[in-house]
Amino acid sequence: MKRILITGGAGFVGSTLALLFKQHYADVDILCLDNLSRRGSELNLPRLKQHGVSFMHGDVRNPEDLARVGEVDWLIECSAEPSVHAGFGESPAYLINTNLNGLINCLEFLRMQGGNLVFLSTSRVYPIATLRHLPLIPQNQRLCIENKPTVVGCSEKGISEAFPLEGNRSLYGATKLSGELFIQEYCHMYGLQAVINRCGVLAGAWQMGKVDQGFIALWVARHFFGGKLQYMGFGGEGLQVRDVLHVSDLFQLLQLQMNQIQDHNGAIYNVGGGMKNSISLCELTSLVTKTTGNSCDIGCVPETREADIPFYVTDITKVNQKTAWEPKISIPMIVEEVYAWMQQNKNALETIFNL
């Protein structure tokens, strides 16, 4: 491994992975390409430079930008419009052109230059209606899956790769699922080597959380900088549940997959924090209040937005059986880390989070 290209490399996941790869593989040349469309991504540029990671301003929608990169051994695709709410009531052009056409440009780049691919897909490939009809019961401050559910791909461990794919999933989910299909075709037709990780919620420091994406950082920010939060949808009680994975745990998995790519070529894995690392919004409020010592005004919006789901926890059995990987970093540790990051970078972050 001599050279890694990280597209979307100034974003939360891309920049964190870039710095971790540089830290662990000092001799590897890491290049981050990003169009800096995400507010706050520009704050990562001095960090990348300071640690010897190269940056190129570029756009995955433009094949000629990728052509300027030169040869790479790996491309880690982290560029995206990452919000599941994108496209609702507005043009989907940016979403489709970046998430799908941009990925195809990356695949073409690899077909012509050579090199392997890591793709960050999403749990949101699974259909909204099916997830809304899971057998859930409220228990204390969260929704829980009822004992021995009879839904295919759903167990007390969460949602596995066997969960049915028929049904609407949002345009965001559709761009990612289509991307998975193209990747598998490129593996079959052109001998590309690639691994696909369907990630649940990822979190950690340097995530520029906003209302439609990055809720852990948003929750900590509102408690720290001030401002309001809302429990949105499903009656406005804040009982909806997600699992959360720290991006360093994702890095540990990527190393295992990249070092043994022949064992993972074309494979799809559900990747997330798992049941141990799951939390409801109500529970998150208690945790963040305790961590920051601040409380926050939280409103209730009973109406459910079109792409919202009440419960998603990743069943990581398949990836665990294949690699022995499991997450190490707990949600309280993630919240502590995000809080410390905000305290240390208060001035720069205030303008990003205090909109």
Ligand X SMILES: NC(=O)c1ccc[n+]([C@@H]2O[C@H](COP(=O)([O-])OP(=O)(O)OC[C@H]3O[C@@H](n4cnc5c(N)ncnc54)[C@H](O)[C@@H]3O)[C@@H](O)[C@H]2O)c1
Which residues of the shown chain bind ligand X in the complex (CB under 6 A)? Answer: 7-8, 10-14, 34-38, 41, 59-61, 78-80, 82, 98, 102, 120, 122, 199, 201-202
End-to-end Cα, the chain, rounded Å:
42
Compare residues 60 and 196 and give the one whose CB is closer to ligand X.
60
Compare residues 34 and 315 and give the one whose CB is closer to ligand X.
34
The maximal CA–CA distance of the chain, rounded, in angstroms, is 56
Compare residues 142 and 246 and give the one whose CB is closer to ligand X.
246
Among 303, 304, 286, which residue's Cα sits nearest to residue 295? Answer: 286
Cα radius of gyration (the chain): 19
Compare residues 63 and 153 and give the one whose CB is closer to ligand X.
63
Minimum CB separation of residue 347 from ligand X in Å reads 20
Between the alpha carbon of residue 145 and those of residues 133, 139, 157, 159, 183, the distances in Å are 11, 10, 9, 11, 33
Compare residues 34 and 249 and give the one whose CB is closer to ligand X.
34
Minimum CB separation of residue 76 from ligand X in Å reads 9
- Judge contact between 126 and 264, C-beta under 8 A: no
The angle formed by the CA atoms of residues 169, 352 and 341, to the nearest 5 degrees, is: 95
Minimal CB distance to ligand X: which residue? 11
Minimum CB separation of residue 297 from ligand X in Å reads 25
Minimum CB separation of residue 27 from ligand X in Å reads 25
Minimum CB separation of residue 2 from ligand X in Å reads 23
Minimum CB separation of residue 146 from ligand X in Å reads 26
Neighbouring C-beta atoms of residue 202, cutoff 10 Å: 24
Minimum CB separation of residue 122 from ligand X in Å reads 4
- Judge contact between 241 and 279, C-beta under 8 A: yes
Compare residues 146 and 241 and give the one whose CB is closer to ligand X.
241
Minimum CB separation of residue 137 from ligand X in Å reads 26
Query: Which tokens belong to 179?
Result: 């991307």
Compare residues 222 and 246 and give the one whose CB is closer to ligand X.
246
Residues 6+ apart with CB under 8 A from 47: 15, 19, 206
Between the alpha carbon of residue 117 and those of residues 190, 288, 302, 322, 337, the distances in Å are 13, 36, 41, 19, 30
Compare residues 27 and 123 and give the one whose CB is closer to ligand X.
123
Between the alpha carbon of residue 142 and those of residues 138, 226, 243, 256, 298, the distances in Å are 6, 25, 12, 34, 17
Q: Helix 215-225 crosses helix 281-292 at what angle (to 10 degrees)?
A: 40
